[in-house]
Amino acid sequence: MKKIKKTSEIRVGVIGYGGAFNMGLGHLKQMQQAGMTPVAVTEIDPDRLKIASTDFPGIQTYTTVAEMLRNSDVNLVTIITPHNTHAKIGLQCLKAGRHVVCEKPLAITTAECDAMIAAAKKAGVVLSTYHNRHWDGWILRALEQIREKKVIGEVYHIEARMGTWQQPGDWWRASRSISGGVLYDWGVHLLEYGLQMIDSEVTEVSGYSKCGYWAPRTKWKKDTNEDEAEAVVRFRNASWLTLNITSLDSHRKPGFLEIIGTEGNYVIDWSGYTLHKKNGKTQTVEQGSHYPDEHHRFYGNIADHLTKGTKLVITPEWSRRPIHILDLAVQSAKKGRALPAKYN
């Protein structure tokens, strides 16, 4: 990889602008705060391009990726498009010699991830995934408590869960062919948390799903996401992780991440954490607050990696791990058996 001399020489562009969370604006602002220079926006919606021109006066606007790659001097591209387009657009940018950041998930299938990783290596450019939640305050606090201070002893099981009884909306994230399925949105974040907690190789994945309850009532019909899906991940050190995402369960356990150890349970919820510990025959319950989020560290690390050679935190290989689990879970649910994991 050719090192860039100054952070301001990292000329950035986004593919996709606006949307439900105004993500294009958010990404460009964060890159700008990290010292990078916003240069271009590619977006098929002309109204969003007008908004981008107002948000960043003088920025170049394009309606196709090919046009942006051909006519701009962008050297880092962030892809903010539906999940099923990440691999195609990513490969297009990587083969054009651009550094690439993909909104999570990196892609939908393992094969797509492997193709993108190979293309990045061949072109000598950086590939990463926008795992800003790697620096969520709740996981930063949990890692300190659990990995460093060992407050719950040896971690042997993690339960990750999200959702409740609710009909899916009509946006693209409810389409299985576009989103990858119900596990792919929050599931990527929850797996990324869990993989920080369990330092061991994944050996196999079992997938389970319930489909067809909501589908007749939605825009997407048979292409609607699973009503509920679950992945059971087995690790070489004999620990395991369960991931459950639902739109059917009407009585969920508290918390969205529960780390279970030999000396206690650590439950993470939006407002704080609850630590349950056994002391002989008595049990203590401690509640506390999360640390502040440090999402700015994602683009700070990208900038430092490109200019100083600092170690990349969110490598493409790291990004591949949750996608491989999700890919195997979907296949396993269809085949009705556990599938072995494969890491190079």
Q: What is the pLDDT of residues 8-67, one digit of tens each?
A: 999 999 999 976 668 999 999 999 999 999 999 999 999 999 999 999 999 999 999 999
Percentage above 70 pLDDT, the chain:
99
Kindly report the pTM of this predicted structure: 0.96
For residue 258, count other CB atoms closer than 10 A to its CB: 20
Q: Which domains are seen in the chain, by residue range?
A: 7-130 (3.40.50.720), 134-293+324-340 (3.30.360.10)
Cβ atoms of residues 301 and 310 within 8 Å: yes
- DSSP strand E in the chain: where? 11-15, 37-42, 60-62, 76-79, 99-103, 127-130, 155-163, 202-210, 228-235, 240-246, 257-261, 264-268, 273-279, 282-288, 339-340
Backbone angles phi, psi at 76, to 5 degrees: -135, 125
Among positive and negative, which fits the CA dihedral 210, 211, 215, 221?
Answer: positive
Q: How confident is the model at residue 103 (pLDDT cuts 50, 70, 90)?
A: very high
Each residue of 119-157: pLDDT tens digit? 999 999 999 999 999 999 999 999 999 999 999 999 999
